[in-house]
Homo-oligomer: A and B are copies of this chain.
């Protein structure tokens, strides 16, 4: 793997993979960088540059084999295996995520659900029972959890994460709108919907296209 791979390259690879999988379902065959770029909303040069960071996957004059390229991208992203995931916070967003089939389909298996609310502890969720967050460490170790999905209130998130990291969790998908602090070697990705709405608000307010006057102020 190359020393430096930008975050945006990784996001695009994930995007390419989704497109390649759809193409494979539709019969597969080959794609050129131009076609893949059109489907992903980027440029052909960008597609080729992204892929070339990891190797030479195409045939000159003919493009890429859809199925094979999907396999290579999956491998690059580390998706050639299953990941064991725990969900902390069995609330509204937590339950939506639990039932989201795409996670499992991509190899992310929720193997434990934890909450602090006595009314929720013991509830059956699919084949699991919601556990008491008091035994977070035990659950993480018992299930060999590597990735934590955090859907607790923002005030609780840091404490949960500290405990999970102490129990060996190295990857965190955080839905709480708070800046998590972790040691090196722990990867945190935030999903922040309010931020996206605010970015939309900025766009709508300030990025009105040229035909409407935008030179004021």
- Residues of chain A at the chain B interface (Cβ within 8 Å): 1, 5, 7, 10-11, 13-15, 17-19, 39-41, 76-79, 83, 92-93, 95-97, 99-100, 102-103, 106, 108, 146-147, 170-173, 177, 179, 184-185, 187, 189, 191-209, 214, 217
Contact = CB atoms under 8 A, between A and B. Distances in A.
Contacts of A95: 92, 96
Contact of A196 (B15, B17, B19, B191): B191
B99 A198 contact: no
A171 B196 CA distance: 11
Residue from A83, A97, A194 whose CB has the most chain B CB atoms within 10 Å? A194
Copies of this chain present in the complex amount to 2
A171 B184 CA distance: 37
Nearest to A179: B41
Nearest to A17: B198
A14 B78 contact: no
B198 A14 contact: yes
A78 B202 contact: yes
Contact of A195 (B11, B41, B99, B217): B11
A179 to B, nearest CB: 6
Given A193-B191, A204-B146, A204-B171, A184 B209 contact: yes
A100 B92 contact: yes
B102 A93 contact: no
